[in-house]
Chains A and B, each alone.
Chain A
């Protein structure tokens, strides 16, 4: 657009620069440290580190297998039966894990399958002896499946639902049986979606910190991220942290490159499905098989959820609610998460504005560097795990300041940056849509500056901004990554307090806190969903 002011362009570049600085500062911290003590950094690459890296990859691979494989069967089952009682409820159930912090899910798995869990008696009876509790790799796999199986199911179902009804009509006219339908219609669609879904799940599991920290239960089941945390918090060995971080980044970059080569779309966006009529009556056997798949998946998801609820309600919620430490932690969490969400929305909006300005100005020619950076640059932050950013700044700042005093700043900024890709999904389409409709009109009528914000942009973008805010706040509220590094008695968030209570075996307290945290996050996520739904 002609006569566009330069200020929004500056704003977006500044925002991107801020995110870049956040990542660059972390790297600087690591590099300065590594250069100062090169020998120990190199020595950090030892057998232990390789073992940790091996386990990191192994658990991510297995988690992907146990999540994505069954998800295909569940998705096909749901797609084959577009109308049965409870289908809608089931899909909503499958949306729940994504709204929960990883810490809460880990606690749910423990409350159900831990040594003293609800299911311990049952498994002890089956195994004929004392149930040892689900720690280590099995626990990690269950928790990862709890998150990712429903996610993958929703993504696959979305793909299956996109098959045009005409194809089903044709299949039924040609007399295709279950096998032929699978081979000729369903599998090709699933196969096309598979790299993206599996890649997304693999990346999520590769960067999983909280679940491994709480369910790993020992040095045998430690991932790189947890090892980074331990080397900084307990051993205070920055050289090792540096080696671990480098390896984690290298692995992530490698996997991401491979996935992008495979043409995986890591966007992962599943909306509630609208199933086409399939003109098909599955056989009894097939129906039974489908029912079993769906039932098992439902148990996997509902089990830990119910365990959180039951264990939480058994806790002395009345006492917790009046306890000073709990109240402080809730207040701290809400304030920090709120600030983080505001920062996230401001950064996201200014980047979206600048990107749109640049795209409009170039009119169909190849996008310039700045625009491409704004397009994908902020998304790359997901590749750099929060624990790595936290670790870098931790190492950098410890020489000049009291790192624990900086906890609020770190929690707010790092979580804000981490939520940008999600906020972008809520905000950018609405922003671009509105800008396309309004830019010429505003230029023509001379509506600019604050008037444009007050009269045009705010009324239209209010809802998507609120969606992005609620989403970012929920993510920040449930995060344990940054606060695990920077937390102290002086600055405690709710997840940090919960983690401490778990560590000191105050299990009932932890369960109660998990329920409170889960409810807070659920409310925010529901608000986000509500606000993001079709407006008038």
Chain B
């Protein structure tokens, strides 16, 4: 891996007039700029394009027009694995038949041919996310939170400058979710990677993301400092999304 895909500092992510449409769906248009090392929360109603946005950046979908740049380089032609990006989904982040160490090890080598150094890295990453000693467990022997920790450990050993979290903690209970967010914040502290985090919970955004983008109907309807975006009355669509009586 070269510096383009791996490194301690984050890389900036820019979407320049990126358009995309699902078959039978309306057109989506994304203009977005995220600074290197920033944490951005992405919120919005179901179907507003949050996951699509991350999929475009990760390379699972191809834009019909526009440019996506990561660290100043256009990545549109690159396969997902060649992009300087790691992504964690809500579920199915792990191969159920492989143990924890192998699942993390795949982040070092897609053929799972690991050097001694790789193994050390895997061990350290697992210790870092609080899973020391669970290397030989299978995913089904772990709790939901632990499984997402394994996915985080893999993102750590892949060491890509951009981390995408697609409702990664959405199926966890509130306390566990806060714990995971704190873990992510801790990792960010040491690695300074750029993080884009899709979430439904305003608390998540406020906990670790200084900036929030609000998506509505395939566009970025509002974007700015999290506290400002959450200030009541700024956007009718956002107020509708949060609903009356939601603690802000």
Contact = CB atoms under 8 A, between A and B. Distances in A.
Given A363-B22, A441-B93, A459-B97, A1 B81 contact: no
A interface secondary structure, majority: helix
Contacts of A438: 92, 95
Q: Which residue among A1, A362, A363, A441 has the maximum number of chain B CB atoms within 10 Å of its CB?
A: A441
Interface stretch (A100-108, A134-142, A448-456, A490-498): A448-456
A365 B98 CA distance: 34
B24 A444 contact: no
Contact of B80 (A443, A455, A456): A443
A446 B82 CA distance: 7
A445 interface: yes
B89 A2 contact: no
A2 B92 contact: no
A443 B79 contact: yes
Contacts of B22: 363-364
A441 B92 contact: yes
Contacts of A363: 22-23
B84 interface: no
A152 B22 CA distance: 44
Interface in B143-162: 158
A39 interface: no
Contact of A2 (B60, B95, B110): B60
A250 B37 CA distance: 70
A460 interface: yes
A226 B136 CA distance: 60
Nearest to A444: B80
A455 B23 contact: no
Contacts of A437: 92, 96
B107 interface: yes
Contact of B60 (A362, A443, A447): A443
Interface in A406-448: 437-438, 440-441, 443-448
Contacts of A443: 59-60, 79-81
Nearest to B158: A445
Contacts of A441: 92-93, 95
A455 B60 CA distance: 22
Number of chain B interface residues as a range: 20 to 34
A174 interface: no
A379 to B, nearest CB: 27
Contacts of A2: 59-62, 79-80
A365 B81 contact: no
B111 A364 contact: no
B23 A362 contact: yes
B127 interface: no
B106 interface: yes
Contact of A445 (B24, B97, B110): B110
Given A443-B59, A443-B60, A447-B110, A3 B79 contact: yes
Given A2-B60, A365-B24, A444 B98 contact: no
Interface string A347-381: 00000000000000011110000000000000000
A445 B106 contact: yes
B87 interface: yes
Contacts of B97: 459-460
B194 interface: no
B86 interface: yes
B23 A364 contact: yes
B95 A444 contact: no
Interface in B76-117: 79-82, 86-87, 89, 92-93, 95-98, 106-107, 110-112
Contacts of A446: 79-82, 110
A365 B22 CA distance: 9
B interface secondary structure, majority: loop
Contact of A447 (B58, B89, B106): B106
Interface string A1-15: 111000000000000
A362 B107 CA distance: 29
B217 to A, nearest CB: 19
Given A3-B59, A363-B22, A444 B82 contact: no
B59 A445 contact: no
Given A363-B22, A444-B58, A445-B107, A455 B112 contact: yes
Contacts of B95: 438, 441, 455-456
A451 B110 CA distance: 7
Contacts of A445: 81, 106-107, 110, 158
A455 B111 contact: yes
Given A365-B23, A441-B93, A448 B80 contact: no
A530 B82 CA distance: 42
A326 to B, nearest CB: 43
Q: Which residue among A363, A365, A444 has the maximum number of chain B CB atoms within 10 Å of its CB?
A: A444
Interface in A272-291: none
A286 to B, nearest CB: 47
A140 B136 CA distance: 59
Nearest to A443: B80
Interface in B184-231: none
Contacts of A444: 58, 80-81, 86-87
Nearest to B22: A363
Contacts of A447: 81, 106, 110-111
Nearest to B92: A437
Nearest to B81: A446
A202 B150 CA distance: 54
A245 to B, nearest CB: 43
Nearest to A364: B23
A440 B60 contact: yes
B157 to A, nearest CB: 11
Contacts of A459: 97-98
A362 to B, nearest CB: 7
A3 B74 CA distance: 16
Interface in B23-61: 23-24, 58-61
A440 B98 contact: no
A484 B87 CA distance: 58
Contacts of B96: 437, 460
Nearest to B140: A536
A61 to B, nearest CB: 46
Contacts of B24: 364-365
Interface of A: 1-3, 362-365, 437-438, 440-441, 443-448, 451, 455-456, 459-460
- The 4 nearest A-B residue pairs measured at CB: A446-B81, A3-B79, A443-B80, A447-B110
21 contacts: A2-B59, A2-B62, A2-B79, A364-B24, A437-B96, A438-B95, A440-B89, A441-B93, A443-B59, A443-B60, A443-B81, A445-B81, A445-B106, A446-B81, A447-B81, A451-B111, A451-B112, A455-B95, A455-B112, A456-B95, A460-B97
Given A2-B62, A441-B92, 9 more contacts: A3-B80, A364-B22, A364-B24, A365-B23, A440-B60, A444-B80, A444-B87, A446-B80, A448-B110
